[in-house]
Amino acid sequence: MSEEKLIELICDALEEKKAEDIRTFDVRERTSMTDYCIIASSLSSPHLKALEQSVMRVMREEGIHCYKYSGTAAGGWIIIDYIDFVVHLFSAEQRLYYAIESLWEKKIKEEDQYEMGYEE
């Protein structure tokens, strides 16, 4: 199954469990760490754990197991690394604090400015 289809499965699983503000970033041309980042927020620690279990379940059903796993629901940030894509699940507070999507958004804006000949 293609990366795009797997990401769609993950996003569907997150939507089914009522994850908030699901964002997907194609970072293939921006980093060598991974191809895609998926970021979503939860409403509570139990909700965060349910999101994590849902992602792990749909991937296991496809025969794909995570490479690395880090974080806890109580800590407010869970990272599930599938090498070609990384899933970041946050509590709302931790997502605001770390604001990791701003890394990709800033990079995208800088590249767009560079391509258009603008410099700050």
Residue-wise DSSP of 80-114: EE-SSEEEEEEEHHHHHHH-THHHHHHHHHHHHHH
Examine the pLDDT at 115 and tell me if it is beyond 50: no
Domains and CATH numbers, the chain: 3-115 (3.30.460.10)
Convert the pLDDT of each residue in 5-61 to its tens digit: 999 999 999 999 999 999 998 888 877 888 899 999 999 999 999 999 999 999 999
The residue that leads in pLDDT, 95 or 29, is 95
Average pLDDT over residues 91-107: 85
